[in-house]
Amino acid sequence: MKRLRLSRVAIAAAALALVGANLPLHANPVVTVSGDHFMREGKPYQIISGEMHFQRIPRPYWTDRLRKAKAMGLNTVTTYVFWNLIEPEKGRFDFTDNNDVAAFVKLAQHEGLNVILRPGPYICGEWDAGGYPAWLWTEPGMRVRSRDPRFLDAAESYLQHLGKQLAPLMASHGGPIIATELENEYGSYDDDKDYLKAIRERLQNAGLADDVLMTYDGPDALANGTLPDVTAVIDFAPGQARESFAALARFRPQGPRMAGEYWTGWFDKWGGKHAKTDPKQEADEVAWMLGQGYSLNMYMFHGGTNFGFMGGANYQYRASEHYGPMTTSYDYDAPLDEAGRITPKYELLREAITTATGRQPPEIPASTPVRSLPSFVLNEAASLWDNLPPAQHADQPLPMENYGQSYGYILYRTTIHGPFKGTLYIGDVRDYAAIYVDRKSAGTVDRRLKQVSINLDIASGEHALDVLVENTGRVNFGPRVLDGHAGLIDPVMLGNEVLHDWQVFPLPMTSPDTLHGWTTGKVEGPAFHRGSLDVTAPADTFLDTRAFDKGFAWLNGHNLGRIWSIGPQRDLYAPGPWFKKGANSVVVFDFGTPANPQMRGLDKRSWTGEQVPEL
């Protein structure tokens, strides 16, 4: 790829065009580094930031969340940009609607907030594949997060398009973006300085590196994850501030003191417990950091939601290896909850910041209402078997990316012959498989549990074997980020025999509009279930999902995210802007066969272990 660098003249012209286009924006002075602190307009400057990811928040709520950040005493917001949403197909870029990063940045500037930009290419963030688009894995042997020329060319193309949106909004051109992240926790992954230099060059070419450039790492990975002339900031958990800043001071005696990620909560994994952290400990530690003159970014200020199929997965590789997919909710036990409501943690942190800075923040905006809604029955059902697309033939099953699919489900079908009693080997499934013989459930294989096979006992004759695979979330952290394939990746074996001659049905589940075969009679899973919910005034709610086993839900065509009865999440956040006055369509896909397929709206969360009245 020919490398291009956006000219300063072009960026300045674009900046002038942006200012005043929709909002009254005021030029921001730059932030610079001087010794162990930041400077602005000739004075020491303390960055007090909170993290929120605009693509995890419905666009109508961006202003609300930004104003609440300001009201907590923050002067900066930090955001990731998820490459996989910006470029869902190779060469097709989407900066509209919830991907309009320039609009979000301009809103932040309008509210008097700085922005720290974390553009990737890699972001982790408990997001599918750490933000990498799935089409990268259609290139045989592609090594992401490396100096593989194919990867660097793809990253350059993405950053060039991002730069056209954001370079005019850098502080050096009067915009609010005071800093850009070079790489995210790279020191925990590798130590290839030439790779870091290659990413820096591409950020520079895109016009995104003219202000402060940062790397984020834990205390034990600082040396691996940065470059000598790049600002290193540090990530750590509550209770670790003193030792972490001491480690940063030893590593960079003359570098700024900043917590790049101070974890004010934690993420949830399917099958685990909902995270709860100590608000007072965090408020006291924030007060201490500010009292030392240190800068900080609270990860997260507002977590938001992994709508659709965007939740990622961790793969713990240092101790007991296991795959751990993330829940749909990214509540994170953050100061603002998933619906943007003020929490006791928010109040304590606001008090700590106000006391430490001596500045009274604006009044806290009123939160949008979260309402309970009466139970409604999903009284229509349609079988998945009646809604399959045309089959594609393969001698051996291949990952879903090979069929032009990035997310969702994929069905593999072949014929087997009995009698047989023994093992059906599925292999390292990505990530959850339900197996059917003649459309009857025969068992499941769950990557979380390190399962690779089931036992089969089938009668003589010819039988249809179906393997329905859910992509539950690509790994977003650690060395297994390299392998982003979803679906089946190994040969399937019946006993010692490798099975051939497969039909493959990609099921990206992009819309419920084409589903057919609806009936009010009982339909065995896997199936879709449809109902109508009447509302007089659209408002946020949490749709109770306890009647269902495993799948996902659409609200008026919006994918609210994954459902799984193992918890800890037992509901789905349904934003008010996605409702309409009158009848609203809810469609749930479920592997199982619900005995009583109904839902209702809750005005409070329903985590596993908490008391909620039965449906």
Which are the catalytic amino acids?
185, 261
Other Cβ atoms within 10 Å of 559 Cβ, number: 22
The 8-class DSSP code of residue 426 comes to -
255, 206, 202: which is closest to 226 by C-alpha? Answer: 255
- The closest alpha carbon to 30, from 145, 154, 175, belongs to 175
3-state SS class at 241: helix
| Separation of first and last alpha carbons in the chain | 58
Closest CA to 596 of 496, 516, 522: 522
User: Which are the contacts of 307, defined by CB distance < 8 A and separation ≥ 6?
Assistant: 56, 328, 558, 559, 560, 561
Buried b (16+ CB within 10 A) or exposed e, 72-84: bbbbbbbbbbbbb
**For 273-393, where are the alpha helices, taking DSSP H only?**
279-291, 344-357
DSSP string, 43-112: EEE--EEEEE-GGGS-GGGHHHHHHHHHHTT-SEEEEE--HHHH-SBTTB---SGGG-HHHHHHHHHHTT
Contact at 8 Å (CB) between 328 and 305? yes
Angle, CA 331 vertex, CA 325 and CA 335 arms, to 5°: 145
SS3 122: coil
Task: Give 183's strand partners.
Answer: 215
Please report the DSSP string for 180-214 in residue order: EEEEESGGGT---HHHHHHHHHHHHHTT--SSEEE
Residue identified by tokens 């009067």 is: 174
Whether 228 and 197 have beta carbons less than 8 Å apart is answered as no
Half-sphere exposure of 171 (CA within 13 A, CB side): 23
Instruction: Spell 457-483 as b/e; 16+ CB within 10 A means b.
Output: ebeeeebebbbbbbbbbbbbbbebbeb
Strands 177-184 and 114-118: parallel
User: Which of 486, 480, 329, 330 is CA-nearest to residue 407?
Assistant: 486
Residue type, 510: T
Place of tokens 């033939």: 393
